[in-house]
């Protein structure tokens, strides 16, 4: 079942895609100012989708992109009030700065609507192209943060008398690869433009979400699996705060501890996991990840079923118990041998095991869905891919 939106929005979305089969002569140039404030990042961008005669070799141009992240390090995690204060302080500044990057409008551009923007020093007024519409994240996300972005976007839309388009956070993530492809693609006929083509699979791990999604078109997305307990980001953040050395966390410039955990586990990047091979059979898929040297043992969630779902609470609690056992042992006698209750190599080992489980879950879910497709339809309601309606912000 497809999600339904207003006809105007659907036409607008379709005209923006780089791979539409519409002839160049029918393509329309579009310019938008976009605002994102769903969590702790205040972000503003100006994006232009070129028409039949692009001025450069790209199908789209990113004229401006800048963001400010709220500093919640004191709380070792995102604090809603700190995020709100950051949005209120920085969002208007970013919008003001972005206006200087709107494409210039000339007298020859008779079909382009324009606005007069004061120069940076305020000494002159410059004629620039007016955005065709304002884009803004409408959810899901933190309500107070979303409200700041929505109110700012509504004000711009009313002041400029242009449409306002609310963008679903998860749908935006799904379509980002196509935007990147449009920004990088060489100019060519739309029908032969190479990019990210439908259908494709995506793993979304933004904020409190963990979703495996099958995208068939701009407006058709199926959730194949989601988490039954906590999101992977939550699990990674919590295990990172326990597994990472205190000095490592204190030196972090952000609260993205999941990213810090990955950097700690694989300091050399891809080189450190170049030898990784995905499981070739069911037995390898469900085997435990173990490191007997340090006593780590993590079991693959849903190892005994073929349910298309994610689960991270069990992994997290198992790792926490094993970490507590190490700390207790150190407090009871090993203190005399080392100043750190968990050796560096043990921390790296656990971090790698936890990160590898993340990759394994994605592979397992995709493999299971392919098997379901081959069988035609699943018998269990939980195994049935669900149609995703982005208008229903909080129904996952």
Domains (ranges, CATH) in the chain? 7-166 (3.30.420.40), 232-382 (no CATH)
pTM of this structure: 0.75
Tell me what pLDDT residue 149 has.
98
Return the number of other C-beta atoms located less than 10 Å from residue 318's C-beta: 14
Which pair of structure tokens corresponds to residue 390?
A: 């982005």
Give the closest residue to 134 by CA, choosing from 12, 38, 220.
Answer: 12
Return the number of other C-beta atoms located less than 10 Å from residue 263's C-beta: 15
Per-residue pLDDT of the chain (396 residues; tens, 9 = 90+): 223 333 333 334 333 433 333 333 345 789 999 999 999 999 999 999 987 666 666 778 999 999 999 999 998 889 999 999 999 999 999 999 999 999 998 777 667 789 999 887 777 889 999 999 999 999 999 999 999 999 999 999 999 999 999 999 999 999 998 888 888 765 454 445 566 889 888 888 877 888 889 899 988 999 988 888 998 888 888 889 888 988 888 888 888 888 888 889 889 988 888 888 877 887 887 788 888 888 899 887 777 777 778 888 888 899 899 998 888 887 776 555 555 788 889 999 998 888 776 665 556 556 656 665 665 544 333 333 333 333 333 322
Tell me what pLDDT residue 150 has.
98
Beta strands (DSSP E) in the chain are 30-36, 41-49, 60-69, 114-118, 125-129, 133-139, 164-168, 200-204, 211-217, 220-226, 289-291, 296-298, 386-387
Return the number of other C-beta atoms located less than 10 Å from residue 374's C-beta: 7
Tell me what pLDDT residue 333 has.
67
């Amino acid at each position: 079942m497809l999600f339904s939106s207003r006809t105007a929005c659907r036409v607008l979305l379709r005209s923006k895609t780089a791979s539409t089969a519409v002839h160049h002569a029918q393509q329309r140039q579009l310019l938008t100012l976009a605002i994102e404030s769903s969590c702790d990042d205040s972000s503003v961008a100006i994006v232009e989708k070129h028409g039949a005669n692009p001025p450069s070799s790209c199908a789209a141009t990113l004229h401006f992109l800048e963001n400010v992240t709220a500093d919640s390090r004191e709380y070792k995690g995102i604090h809603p009030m700190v995020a709100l204060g950051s949005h209120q302080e920085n969002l208007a500044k970013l919008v003001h700065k972005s206006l200087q990057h709107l494409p210039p409008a000339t007298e020859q551009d008779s079909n382009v609507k324009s606005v007069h923007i004061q120069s940076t020093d305020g000494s002159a007024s410059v004629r620039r192209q007016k955005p065709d519409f304002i884009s803004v994240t409408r959810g899901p996300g933190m309500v107070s943060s979303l409200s700041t972005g929505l109110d700012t976007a509504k004000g711009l839309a009313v002041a400029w008398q242009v449409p306002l388009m609310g963008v679903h956070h998860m749908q935006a993530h799904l379509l980002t690869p196509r935007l990147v492809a449009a920004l990088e693609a060489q100019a060519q006929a739309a029908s032969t433009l190479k990019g990210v083509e439908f259908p494709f699979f995506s793993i979304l791990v933004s904020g409190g979400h963990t979703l495996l999604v099958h995208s068939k078109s701009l407006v058709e997305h199926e959730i194949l699996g989601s988490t039954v307990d906590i999101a992977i980001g939550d699990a990674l953040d919590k295990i990172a705060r326990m597994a990472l050395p205190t000095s490592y966390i204190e030196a972090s410039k952000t609260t993205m501890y999941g990213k810090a955990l990955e950097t700690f586990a694989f300091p050399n990047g891809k080189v450190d996991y170049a030898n990784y091979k995905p499981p070739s059979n069911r037995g390898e898929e469900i085997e435990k990840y173990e490191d007997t040297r340090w006593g780590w043992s993590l079991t693959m969630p849903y190892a005994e079923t073929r349910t298309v779902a994610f689960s991270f609470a069990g992994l997290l609690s198992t790792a926490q118990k094993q970490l507590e056992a190490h700390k207790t042992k150190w407090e009871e006698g090993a203190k005399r041998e080392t100043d750190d209750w968990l050796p560096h190599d043990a921390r790296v080992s656990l971090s790698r095991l936890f990160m590898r489980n993340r990759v394994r879950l994605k592979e397992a879910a995709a493999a299971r869905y392919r098997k379901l497709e081959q069988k035609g339809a699943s018998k269990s309601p939980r195994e049935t891919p669900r149609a995703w309606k982005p208008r229903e912000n909080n129904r996952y």
